[in-house]
Amino acid sequence: MTHKRNTIPMVNSTRCGAKTRKGLPCKSPAVHGKKRCRMHGGAEGSGAPVGNKNALKSGFHTKEAIEKRKQLNKMIKSFRKSLEELT
């Protein structure tokens, strides 16, 4: 062994965050462009294409709706706080 192995890109690659049966994160390298490894839903052809609306029913769980509710809750919290300060 005369040359030094370059494992830095491999070590720095995104890791799978799926929970294993032990309750720990999987830590296998994630499939390129995905957040999961090939065993945990990152495999080629798995999952819906980005922007697909096949499962959209009411839109309650869309990113936009969730963000809107978060903003509303923030506002309510701040109003409650200022109300408490007044009394």
Residues that bind Zn ion (CB under 5 A): 16, 18, 26, 28, 37, 40
Cβ neighbors of 59 (< 8 A, separation 6 or more) are 65
Q: How far is the CB of 35 from Zn ion (least distance, A)?
A: 10
Query: For Zn ion, which is the closer residue by CB, 43 or 66?
Result: 43
Q: How far is the CB of 83 from Zn ion (least distance, A)?
A: 47
Q: Which residues of 68-87 are buried (b: 16+ CB within 10 A; e: fewer)?
A: eeeeeeeeeeeeeeeeeeee
Query: For Zn ion, which is the closer residue by CB, 25 or 80?
Result: 25
> CA-to-CA distance for 18 and 1, rounded, in angstroms?
36
Q: How far is the CB of 9 from Zn ion (least distance, A)?
A: 19
